[in-house]
Structure 1
């Protein structure tokens, strides 16, 4: 029968305790590093999503702003010609316009729709005057003729004529951009501006 000396037994117990502490330390470090790694991955994913969302937002606003520019051109060309230009109603035109109500609203013909229609697809009054395609966005455009007023330097008073060199016409252009995958909307944005246009169609300036 072999009997271990007391000194060796105590040494083995101490070594066993040290091994346990070392293993516990390694385990804790592993857990800490794992948590840090998960946090880093989560933060990176959020940053990527936020950056992607910002790009989509900018693209949506840019599409709506392109619609605004197109709306100004439509107003000017219609005022100059006295009617919606044929180039806007030709096959393959972009934007695609609804000529009759659009011309009535721009020219201010009796019985024109006024500003009861909307470019917002979710509105019950949804009836865009034109639909513009910008990249993968569909942009609904609504043009409303608000009122006329004499230009600066012209005598003010009642009975301001509807058209003429000394008259400016105030329009509101409303553009609602939507991009979709299939039938599911992915992003939407809306830009509205008020423009003062010379009745002869020579120029338009944004007021709001």
Structure 2
């Protein structure tokens, strides 16, 4: 009888009903686990892509803000040499807003120390304005103080009267605050640096802030 039943089924033997239920349940569990693993893999890939995009935005914003720091140092050096902000650095040819040029020249040359002006936010009055890779970058340059350079006996004797005799032995300290903002993505990066500059065009050195 059993052989006749197998013959009708083409030689295949059917599992008992209880075993068929277990097999079906096992298949459903396997399919469910495969689906969960697939969703987890897609989620992890999405998270990795989001993290990579966020890191890229931070790097781009930081690069834009650092560009502002470099431009600010150039403005400081040239303004110390000239005693005022050179026309070549004033907008539209340069990064210094025309309305701010005289004020900035006074700041850089120590006429105004530790001014409370800011580059962004309420009362924002940036000294430097740039556009770098879809970022609008605003910078603030603040003269902090001057200090006699070690060994600058000639300068100590002559006193500091701005650029000129003895001025090269005076260290002038500046705080530069640059903020880069991308309106499309909402990304914002800020870099603050302190520079020690020697008068008479002898260069600037970045200090630990």
Structure 2 CA distance, aligned partners of 1:116 and 1:24? 73
1:130–1:142 contact (8 Å) kept in structure 2: yes
2:113–2:143 contact (8 Å) kept in structure 1: no
| Aligned: 1:134 with 2:132 | yes
Residue 90 of structure 1 and its aligned partner are, at CA, apart by 4.4
2:138–2:179 contact (8 Å) kept in structure 1: yes
Structure 1 CA distance, aligned partners of 2:32 and 2:66? 51
Structure 2 CA distance, aligned partners of 1:162 and 1:37? 73
| Aligned: 1:192 with 2:195 | no
Describe the SS at the equivalent of 1:169. Answer: strand
Aligned to 2:90: 89
Give the aligned length.
Answer: 192
| Aligned: 1:171 with 2:170 | no
| Aligned: 1:153 with 2:151 | yes
Structure 2 CA distance, aligned partners of 1:160 and 1:127? 33
Aligned to 1:201: 201
What pairs up with 1:33-182 in 2 under 5 angstroms?
33-91=34-92, 93-97=93-97, 98-109=100-111, 112=112, 114-119=114-119, 121-122=120-121, 124-155=122-153, 161-163=160-162, 164-181=167-184
Q: Between 27-36 and 125-134, report the one with greater CA deviation.
A: 125-134
1:116–1:125 contact (8 Å) kept in structure 2: no
Residue 126 of structure 1 and its aligned partner are, at CA, apart by 2.3
Describe the SS at the equivalent of 2:202. Answer: coil
Structure 2 CA distance, aligned partners of 1:126 and 1:151? 34
Q: Deviations over 1:39-95 (max 9, x none)?
A: 11111100110111011111111111111111100000111111111112243x342
Structure 1 CA distance, aligned partners of 2:157 and 2:176? 26
Q: Give me the TM-score of the superposition, normalised by structure 2.
A: 0.83
Residue 189 of structure 1 and its aligned partner are, at CA, apart by 1.0
Describe the SS at the equivalent of 1:84. Answer: coil
Structure 1 CA distance, aligned partners of 2:130 and 2:157? 38
Residue 13 of structure 1 and its aligned partner are, at CA, apart by 9.6
Segments of 5+ residues of structure 1 without an aligned counterpart are none
Structure 1 CA distance, aligned partners of 2:94 and 2:106? 20
